[in-house]
Amino acid sequence: MNTSCSRTSMTKKAFASNFPSYSFIATMITRLREAGTQLRSLGRHWRRHSCSTTHLPAGSRKFPEGHRLQWRRSRVIEADADVTLEQFGDALQPPFPCLKELLYDVPGSEGVLNSPLLLIQVTRLVCGGFIFALRLNHTISDATGLVQFLTAVGEMARGALVPSIPPVWQRELLLARDPPMVTCTHHEYDDVPDTKGTLMALEDMAHRSFFFGSAEITALRKFVPRHLRKCTTFEVLTACLWRCRTIAILPDPEEEVRIICVTNARAKFNPPLSVGYYGNAIAFPVALTTTRKLCQNPLGYALELVMKAKSDVTDEYMRSVADLMATKGRPHFTVVRSFLVSDLTRAGSGKVDFGWGKAAYSGPTKGGVGPFPGVASFYIACTNKKGENGIVVPICLPAPAMERFLVELDCMLKDNDQVPDSKISTTFKSAL
């Protein structure tokens, strides 16, 4: 794939009119500290443009005999926007406006095979800042690997001759066994027919972000039973969101619903994967129950399911996943009545420095991404406009479901006078 070198200018009018448009990318926004600084080249894959902006060429891959990775160099995309960072709002959090302008959707780049490994656009703002927008081919790397790569780029842009963490390929460590042996139960790949049309349509989707600081997490922990008090913030937050979201989408009371907790499995292997491994080493452990049980039981019920799902990820579990992929042709994870959450708060992308300082925001641009809207959400480290540190979670739901979600979440966060373990959703009871 060849991408022509193009320049665009985004006016303030276009900024306002394109606010509802989104695309699946990761965004980094920062302010320039030294206007004359430029990124240095990183091997032959980096190219310096005459307009003091450097981009990673979109390389595409083919796998001929011998399984070698072949690169085809492409031209770069550069853009200027007639807007300032302040126009994105007081608190930089998803969903962000004008995403189609911030990352050009190169025709044919959305696939897995014969598509770019990375699609990057750098847009200069009139205030002297810039937006670094990226789309990743997830088969080649996960968030940890991507951040390692971007960190290396930043180090070399600031003068290093080699990355501080040498990259490790070693993809053979994650190959299936011979013969394959699926030894674990993998409900995350169940073939579930959407008999009642529960997959969400693109129309009338509402995108909102929710901030969870220390006050909000403390409020949720009031619903945690004594024997689960050692649960993590991720676990209690996931249990809460899964329950509130399930109530909001009103599935049949006897249907199964799933929570998929994306897990970094690097340390789960025996021995652990080498430091520097930048491939995709994530797992999709799942907890499932019926709508009725999830919504009528107190929060501790969902919390225990989430904690159990996370503990399922072991070396044998990961070997079993690899064997399943080899025998079943790499199935997609189950999306019917599923909710997938990915914790990016410790991914480290906010520490990447290309020579102009750390990002004011770094993370996904919205929730519910990909071909199945509303399924996925991300936990992103964030500082709100009050200066409080916490987690921001983008949620995507049909507009009526979003209203019900707001009611349920608000009840969990503010109505703590009731006995926690006796709390049952009034929305769910009225729907039965």
3-state secondary structure the chain: CCCCCCCCEECHHHHHHCCCCCCCCEEEEEECCCCCCCCCCCHHHCEECCCCCEECCCCECCCCCCCCCCCCCCCCCEEEECCCHHHHCCCCCCCCCCHHHHCCCCCCCCCCCCCECEEEEEEEECCCEEEEEEEECCCCCCHHHHHHHHHHHHHHHCCCCCCCCCCECCHHHHCCCCCCCCCCCCHHHCCCCCCCCCCCCCCCEEEEEEEECHHHHHHHHCCCCHHHCCCCHHHHHHHHHHHHHHHHHCCCCCCEEEEEEEEECHHHCCCCCCCCECCCCEECCEEEEEHHHHHHCCHHHHHHHHHHHHHCCCHHHHHHHHHHHHHHCCCCCCCCCEEEEEECCCCCHHHCCCCCCCCCEEEECCCCCCCCCCCEEEEEEEECCCCCEEEEEEEEEEHHHHHHHHHHHHHHHHCCCCCHHHCCCHHHHHHC
Percent of the chain with pLDDT over 70: 75
Residue spans per domain, the chain: 9-140, 184-431
**Highest mean pLDDT out of 44-53, 90-99, 380-389, 422-431:** 380-389
Q: Could you give the residue numbers annotated as active site? A: 138, 353
pLDDT of amino acid 110: 75
pLDDT category of residue 49 using cuts at 50, 70 and 90: very low
pLDDT of amino acid 138: 84
Q: How far apart are CA 244 and CA 250, in angstroms?
A: 10
Span 126-182, pLDDT tens digits: 998 889 988 888 888 999 999 999 999 999 999 999 999 999 999 898 999 999 999
pLDDT of amino acid 3: 32
pLDDT of amino acid 203: 67
More confident residue, 196 or 332: 332
Average pLDDT over residues 183-201: 83
Please determine, for residue 212, whether its predicted confidence score (pLDDT) is greater than 60.
Answer: yes
pLDDT category of residue 369 using cuts at 50, 70 and 90: low
Look over the chain and give the mean of its residue pLDDT values, rounded to a whole number: 79
pLDDT category of residue 7 using cuts at 50, 70 and 90: very low
pLDDT of amino acid 115: 79
CATH class as words, domain 184-431: alpha beta
